[in-house]
Amino acid sequence: MKYPLRVVSVERSLFEGDVEFIIANGADGELGVLARHAPLMTILKPGPLRIQEVFGGPEQVLFVWRWRRRGFASRECAAARRPGLQ
């Protein structure tokens, strides 16, 4: 089952589409998110944000990185958010 995902940076949208699975480095370790995952909010730690449009299929990888100790910024990825979650 797919869900809508939007990945944005300060400058622009980096990814927008329906996906089955994402893997990110959260504050408490690596986490995977499938459709119908319980709502959550976490700080993203520097590292890859792996997006699978089809579970187990090819991955699109964006990179989250820390900028001057003021949170996260990236030319590739600043935040990932499922629409409807604040």
- Give every CB contact of residue 60 below 8 A, 6+ residues apart in sequence: 15, 50, 51, 53
pTM of the model: 0.71
> Residue 86 and residue 13: Cα distance in Å, rounded?
17
Topology annotation, domain 3-81: ATP Synthase; domain 1 (2.60.15)
- Span 22-63, pLDDT tens digits: 999 888 889 898 988 887 777 788 889 999 999 999 999 988
Mean pLDDT of 5-30: 86
